[in-house]
Amino acid sequence: MTDVLRYAAFTTDPAGGNPAGVVLDATGLDDAAMQRIAAEVGYAETAFLVPSDEPRRFTVRYFSPLVEVAFCGHATIATAVALARRDGPGELLFETQAGPVPVHTTSVDGEVRAALVSVPSRSAPAPADDVAAALAALRWAPDDLDPAWPAHVAFAGVPHLVLGARTRARLADLDYDFDALAEVMRERGWITLQLFWPRDEHTVHVRDPFPVGGVVEDPATGAAAAAFGAYLRELGLVTAPRRLTLIQGEDMGRRSELVVDIDPDDPRVRVSGSAAVIG
H helix intervals, the chain: 31-41, 73-87, 128-138, 168-172, 178-188, 222-234
The phi and psi torsions of 66 (rounded to 5 degrees) equal -110, -35
Q: Which of the residues 40, 45, 111, 183 is marked catalytic?
A: 45
Is the separation of the CB atoms in 199 and 226 below 8 Å? no
Count of all residues that appear for the chain in the document? 279
- DSSP assignment letter at 250: G
Please tell me the distance from the alpha carbon of residue 49 to that of residue 273, in angstroms, as a whole number. 20
Main-chain dihedrals φ then ψ at residue 157, nearest 5 degrees: 130, -40
Q: Which residues pair with 125 in a beta bridge?
A: 152
Q: For 44, phi and psi rounded to 5 degrees?
A: -55, -40
Instruction: Compute φ and ψ for 213, nearest 5 degrees.
Output: -95, 5
Q: Specify whether 45 is catalytic.
A: yes
What residues are annotated to the active site? 45
